[in-house]
């Protein structure tokens, strides 16, 4: 006992620095309990030790350990038998966090009655805060940001220069750089609303839909193949084009969800809404002989639940597939109740081993410009299983003129809780009907108990998550980090928002404005916060969580390639259509079951990266080198890395060398460019969206003259360089000069600025 007291008092000494009353239960304490204790004392009833629950207010208080000193003793004990978390549990509680818990316990272990996790409490529109600096803020967003900066004694940064701003907003809204002409126009426009005009122009560009779609495709795990073993071909590009069109038409986001969730069930369903329902067919499908069909149907349905969880709820539903969630109050029963919404599809466990797996429907030849008579709901052919190779049950296959959709069986499959998530371990005593997790709640009786109801629930104004999760992802896209940094996880284990009130303001405005994506983008990119210069001026906020400066980000993988194609003039800006096969490493597909990659010719080599054929087992290597999402499962956030392979790609990859060659041709053939300086300046502007400084220009010109001299003596090297890539240069141009400009262009394409947004 004496020993224990001694340790206690020693312990107390070290938290002298912490002030009492600084700790909030939901923000400071529960995350620690969740991390260190919930694993054995949390929602998972099967894993619970000593009948103690620390995730539930009533049972925690009732246990007495919060008030009788037991928990303090357990936290501070050096006895391995007594100490919590147990030293052999491999759960680590840092000493400062341990101190926080003890401080909280000593201060009376205050646990508010309404202890709902913040993300499960529906957002209420907060008033924009008062700020001291009355000039800086342009709107409510800025006032939330500024108020916090002022609290921390920080100041926002001045507005970025016009070049930087135009580059930033053009990439963010269209995924491609501004042209040198667009730069000149913007600089010349001295009117008050010059920037707003640019934003409106970009939002009405068809490239807006492509840009926003590229993120949606990552979340919706869209790809051109099935993803397992032989990774057979499927045809879903019609769905992809539906997404681009819906975004360009600015379809309200609640409708966007409804059509994708339930486009096959709606009263006003038609061919277009049916195509939209293909969203839930983008998961991988297995065709390998010997696989067990029932196991795979479970896999597909679970994938739909997990995708819904990450994309709309910001919850890691997959945790609850095998057991009650360890941290969030999502039970295994909740998981399988959501599962039941998707478990009535007339689908096969094994794919057809090439082509679309039923249900699918034929696409009229006139797509995408359907005649009114063609825009009708089509009943997909019933699934027909034929046993091949003596034992492999395969459904019929849909060819290149079809698209996969959702379609219900006359009677859904029964849904049970699956023990450990295993397809062959249904708990027959626990048969489930479609339902939504109790912890989120908010289901209205008048909604049909099907995917229509599910979509209505997701987009109900009282839903605590969908709007928050959606605006947070938009924020992440524009600012590099979400207000909730863990954009895939709003649960207890996720990160608390940096600006909770701003998040709620944005979410409620999004709903109030009719789920208007373009208006939301406009509001964000015209804010003073977004328009700040990204040059850092203070050490105190290295991650820029407080937004005292503008965002600085690396371009996404697709934009890096597209940018080279645009600046060289190679890009073929056609929207939509079947996926294309640009350059790939030699024999890239031979490796998978004798497949051969038939590289396209001509225009198809220069389409935007969004249209590049995405083979799941062997995705385009250049895209992965720049951290593109793999499109296996739903991805809403990817960490970025800097690697030497990226340097090698930019230096040597055929697309980038060919782009350099054609940018060289562009500057040599443009009539208004007459001197070397002007040509180099144009190339520089085409890639970096700003003119070079005199020092930069001098260095690049020196580089040009150096290469020109070498190439003039070495026509063979010139010939080799000009042969990289399939589109020839104008043969009338002096080839040594062309080659020298090409290497200068390649140098510029390799600059950090070329793949960054400042």
Residues 617-656 within binding reach of another protein (CB under 8 A)? 617-618, 621, 627, 630, 632-633, 639-649, 651-654
Looking at residue 521, the DSSP 8-state letter turns out to be H
- Interacting residue with another protein among 227, 344, 352, 497 (CB under 8 A): 227
For another protein, the closer CB: 328 or 516: 328
CA 644 – CA 650 distance, rounded (Å): 10
Helix axes 676-688, 735-749, angle to 10 degrees: 40
Give yes or no for residue 723 binding another protein (CB under 8 A).
yes
What's the closest the beta carbon of residue 702 comes to another protein, in angstroms? 9
For another protein, the closer CB: 525 or 688: 688
What's the closest the beta carbon of residue 521 comes to another protein, in angstroms? 26
What's the closest the beta carbon of residue 248 comes to another protein, in angstroms? 32
Give yes or no for residue 349 binding another protein (CB under 8 A).
no
CA 515 – CA 306 distance, rounded (Å): 23
CA 555 – CA 351 distance, rounded (Å): 36
Judge whether 656 and 649 are in contact, CB under 8 Å. Answer: yes
For another protein, the closer CB: 124 or 645: 645
Taken in order 478, 479, 484, 485, the sign of the CA dihedral is: positive
Closest CA to 136 of 506, 475, 529, 540: 529
Residues between 691 and 710 that touch another protein (CB under 8 A): 693, 695-696, 699-700, 703, 706-707, 710
Q: Which residues of 694-708 are buried (b: 16+ CB within 10 A; e: fewer)?
A: eebbeebbebbeebb
For another protein, the closer CB: 673 or 724: 724
Give yes or no for residue 431 binding another protein (CB under 8 A).
no
What's the closest the beta carbon of residue 589 comes to another protein, in angstroms? 9
How many other C-beta atoms can be found within 10 angstroms of the C-beta atom of residue 6?
A: 10
For another protein, the closer CB: 114 or 639: 639
Residues between 260 and 289 that touch another protein (CB under 8 A): 284, 286, 288-289
Residue listed under structure tokens 């049972």: 59
CA 190 – CA 532 distance, rounded (Å): 19
Residues between 651 and 690 that touch another protein (CB under 8 A): 651-654, 657
Give yes or no for residue 718 binding another protein (CB under 8 A).
yes
Residues between 600 and 619 that touch another protein (CB under 8 A): 616-618
DSSP assignment of 117-162 equals -GGGSPP-PPPPPP-S-TTT--SHHHHHHHHHHHHTT--PPPBPPH
For another protein, the closer CB: 205 or 493: 493
| E strand intervals along 158-232 | none
For another protein, the closer CB: 101 or 238: 101
How many other C-beta atoms can be found within 10 angstroms of the C-beta atom of residue 12?
A: 15
How many other C-beta atoms can be found within 10 angstroms of the C-beta atom of residue 89?
A: 13
Site mask for another protein (CB under 8 A), range 286-325, x = bound: x-xxxx-------x----------x-----x-xx------
Torsion of Cα atoms, 287 then 289 then 294 then 300, to 10°: -20
For another protein, the closer CB: 400 or 422: 422
Give yes or no for residue 536 binding another protein (CB under 8 A).
yes
Two tokens, residue 573: 């800006």
Give yes or no for residue 554 binding another protein (CB under 8 A).
yes
Give yes or no for residue 211 binding another protein (CB under 8 A).
no
- Interacting residue with another protein among 491, 500, 551, 620 (CB under 8 A): 491
CA 309 – CA 328 distance, rounded (Å): 13
Instruction: Enumerate the β-bridge partners of residue 744.
Output: none
Number of residues that bind another protein (CB under 8 A): 95
Residue listed under structure tokens 């020196």: 702
What's the closest the beta carbon of residue 353 comes to another protein, in angstroms? 12
For another protein, the closer CB: 375 or 693: 693
The DSSP element (H or E) to which 358 belongs, if any, is none
Judge whether 499 and 483 are in contact, CB under 8 Å. Answer: yes
Give yes or no for residue 90 binding another protein (CB under 8 A).
yes
Site mask for another protein (CB under 8 A), range 369-398, x = bound: --------------------xxx-------
Residues between 558 and 597 that touch another protein (CB under 8 A): 585-587, 590-594
Judge whether 401 and 298 are in contact, CB under 8 Å. Answer: no
For another protein, the closer CB: 181 or 543: 543
What's the closest the beta carbon of residue 594 comes to another protein, in angstroms? 5
Residue listed under structure tokens 């340097």: 647
Phi, psi of 430 (to 5 degrees): -120, 70
What's the closest the beta carbon of residue 92 comes to another protein, in angstroms? 3
For another protein, the closer CB: 16 or 80: 80
What's the closest the beta carbon of residue 748 comes to another protein, in angstroms? 8
For another protein, the closer CB: 211 or 746: 746
What's the closest the beta carbon of residue 649 comes to another protein, in angstroms? 5
- Interacting residue with another protein among 414, 720, 730, 734 (CB under 8 A): 720
What's the closest the beta carbon of residue 722 comes to another protein, in angstroms? 8
For another protein, the closer CB: 115 or 632: 632
CA 278 – CA 259 distance, rounded (Å): 10
What's the closest the beta carbon of residue 535 comes to another protein, in angstroms? 5
Give yes or no for residue 598 binding another protein (CB under 8 A).
no
How many other C-beta atoms can be found within 10 angstroms of the C-beta atom of residue 581?
A: 21
What's the closest the beta carbon of residue 644 comes to another protein, in angstroms? 4
| Total length of the chain | 758
Phi, psi of 159 (to 5 degrees): -65, 145
Cα–Cα–Cα angle for 473, 479, 480, rounded to 5 degrees:
80
What's the closest the beta carbon of residue 707 comes to another protein, in angstroms? 7
For another protein, the closer CB: 28 or 408: 28
For another protein, the closer CB: 39 or 240: 39
How many other C-beta atoms can be found within 10 angstroms of the C-beta atom of residue 306?
A: 24
Helix (H, G, I), strand (E, B) or coil at 167: helix
Closest CA to 746 of 682, 683, 675, 674: 683
Give yes or no for residue 495 binding another protein (CB under 8 A).
no
Residues between 114 and 143 that touch another protein (CB under 8 A): none
Residues between 32 and 51 that touch another protein (CB under 8 A): none
CA 496 – CA 158 distance, rounded (Å): 28
Two tokens, residue 246: 């819906």
For another protein, the closer CB: 303 or 504: 303
For another protein, the closer CB: 175 or 551: 551
Residues between 725 and 754 that touch another protein (CB under 8 A): 739, 743, 746-747, 750-753
Give yes or no for residue 366 binding another protein (CB under 8 A).
no
How many other C-beta atoms can be found within 10 angstroms of the C-beta atom of residue 722?
A: 21
CA 494 – CA 320 distance, rounded (Å): 16
Residues between 468 and 487 that touch another protein (CB under 8 A): none
CA 584 – CA 313 distance, rounded (Å): 37
């Amino acid at each position: 006992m004496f020993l224990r007291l001694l340790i206690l008092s020693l312990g107390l000494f070290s938290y002298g620095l912490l002030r009492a009353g600084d700790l909030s239960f939901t923000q400071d304490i529960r995350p620690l309990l969740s991390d260190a204790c919930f694993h054995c004392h949390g929602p998972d009833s099967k894993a619970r030790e000593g009948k103690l629950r620390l995730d539930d207010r009533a049972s925690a208080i009732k246990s007495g350990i919060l008030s009788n000193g037991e928990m303090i003793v357990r936290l501070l004990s050096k006895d391995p038998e007594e100490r919590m978390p147990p030293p052999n549990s491999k759960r680590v509680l840092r000493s400062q966090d341990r101190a926080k818990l003890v401080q909280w316990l000593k201060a009376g272990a205050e646990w508010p009655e309404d202890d709902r996790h913040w993300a499960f409490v529906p957002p209420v529109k907060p008033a924009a805060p008062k700020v001291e600096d009355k000039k800086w803020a342009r709107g409510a967003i800025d006032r939330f940001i500024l108020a916090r900066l002022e609290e921390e004694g920080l100041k926002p940064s001045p507005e970025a220069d016009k070049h930087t701003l135009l580059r930033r907003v053009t990439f963010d809204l269209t995924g491609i750089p501004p042209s040198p002409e667009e730069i000149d126009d913007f600089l010349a426009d001295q009117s008050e609303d010059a920037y707003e005009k640019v934003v409106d122009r970009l939002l009405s560009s068809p490239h807006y839909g492509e840009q926003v779609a590229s993120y949606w495709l990552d979340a919706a795990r869209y790809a051109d193949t099935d993803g397992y073993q032989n990774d057979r071909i499927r045809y879903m590009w019609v769905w992809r084009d539906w997404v681009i069109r819906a975004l360009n038409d600015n379809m309200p986001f609640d409708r966007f969800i409804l059509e994708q969730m339930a486009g096959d069930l709606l009263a006003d369903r038609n061919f277009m809404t049916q195509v939209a329902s293909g969203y839930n067919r983008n998961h991988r499908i297995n065709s390998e002989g010997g696989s067990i069909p029932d196991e795979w149907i479970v896999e597909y349905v679970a994938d739909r639940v997990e995708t819904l969880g990450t994309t709309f709820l910001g919850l890691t539903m997959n945790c609850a597939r095998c057991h009650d969630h360890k941290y969030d109050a999502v039970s295994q029963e909740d998981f399988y109740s959501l599962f039941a919404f998707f478990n009535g599809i007339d689908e096969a466990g094994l794919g057809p081993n090439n082509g679309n797996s039923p249900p699918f429907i034929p696409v009229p030849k006139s797509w995408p410009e359907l005649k009114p008579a063609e825009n009708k709901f089509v009943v997909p052919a019933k699934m027909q299983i034929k046993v091949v190779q003596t034992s492999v049950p395969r459904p019929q296959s849909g060819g290149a003129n079809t698209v996969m959709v959702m379609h219900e069986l006359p009677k859904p499959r029964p849904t049970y809780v699956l023990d450990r998530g295993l397809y062959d371990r249904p708990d027959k005593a626990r048969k489930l009907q479609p339902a939504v997790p109790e912890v989120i709640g908010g289901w209205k009786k008048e909604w049909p108990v099907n995917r229509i109801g599910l979509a209505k629930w997701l987009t109900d104004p009282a839903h605590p998550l969908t709007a928050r999760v959606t605006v947070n992802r938009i924020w992440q896209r524009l600012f590099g980090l979400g207000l909730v940094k863990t954009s895939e996880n709003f649960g207890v284990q996720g990160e608390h928002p940096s600006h909770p009130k701003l998040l709620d303001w944005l979410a409620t405005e999004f709903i109030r404005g009719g789920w208007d994506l373009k208006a939301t983008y406009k509001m964000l990119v015209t804010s003073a916060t977004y328009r700040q210069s990204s040059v850092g001026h203070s050490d105190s906020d290295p991650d820029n969580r407080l937004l005292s400066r503008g965002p600085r980000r690396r371009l996404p993988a697709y934009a890096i390639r597209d940018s080279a194609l645009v600046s060289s003039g190679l890009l073929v800006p056609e929207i939509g259509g079947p996926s294309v096969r640009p350059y790939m490493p030699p024999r890239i597909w031979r490796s998978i079951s004798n497949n051969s990659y038939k590289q396209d010719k001509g225009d198809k080599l220069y389409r935007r990266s969004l249209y590049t054929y995405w083979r799941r087992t062997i995705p385009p290597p250049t895209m992965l080198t720049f951290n593109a999402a793999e499109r296996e499962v739903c991805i809403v956030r990817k960490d970025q890395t800097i690697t030497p392979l990226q340097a090698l790609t930019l230096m040597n990859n055929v697309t980038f060398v060919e782009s350099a060659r054609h940018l060289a041709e562009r500057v040599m053939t443009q009539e208004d460019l007459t001197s070397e300086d002007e040509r180099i300046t144009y190339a520089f502007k085409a890639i970096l969206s700003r003119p070079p400084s005199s020092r930069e220009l001098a260095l690049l010109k020196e580089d040009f003259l150096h290469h020109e001299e070498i190439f003039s003596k070495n026509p063979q090297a010139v010939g080799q360089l000009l042969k990289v890539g399939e589109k020839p240069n104008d043969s009338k141009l002096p080839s040594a000069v062309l080659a020298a400009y090409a290497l200068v262009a390649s140098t510029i394409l390799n600059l950090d600025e070329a793949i960054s947004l400042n």
